[in-house]
Amino acid sequence: MRLSLTRWLLSPTTSWRARKLVAASGGQLDFDTAWRRTRLASHPDELPYQRHGHRAPDERRPR
């Protein structure tokens, strides 16, 4: 299952707000970035999870 579909199923309100943000940006913002921004605005306690998702693939692997 694609990540965007999973997000729509698990958090439809956040996904709807992210979709509106993408539309307002005129295509300059992708759905993933908009979803993370929207999610962080309503759930600031999830900042560590957002930072984890934006790491380069090499940094995600435990050493």
Distances (CA, A) of 29 to 2, 18, 35, 46: 19, 10, 10, 21
Q: Radius of gyration of the chain from Cα atoms?
A: 13
Neighbours of 17 (CB within 10 A): 18
- Residue 16: name the closest of 29, 40, 43, 34 by CA: 34
pTM: 0.67
pLDDT in tens, the chain (63 residues): 577 788 778 888 989 999 999 999 998 998 888 988 898 898 888 877 776 665 555 555 555
C-alpha–C-alpha distance, residues 59 and 43, integer Å: 24
Q: Strand, coil or helix: what is 59? A: helix
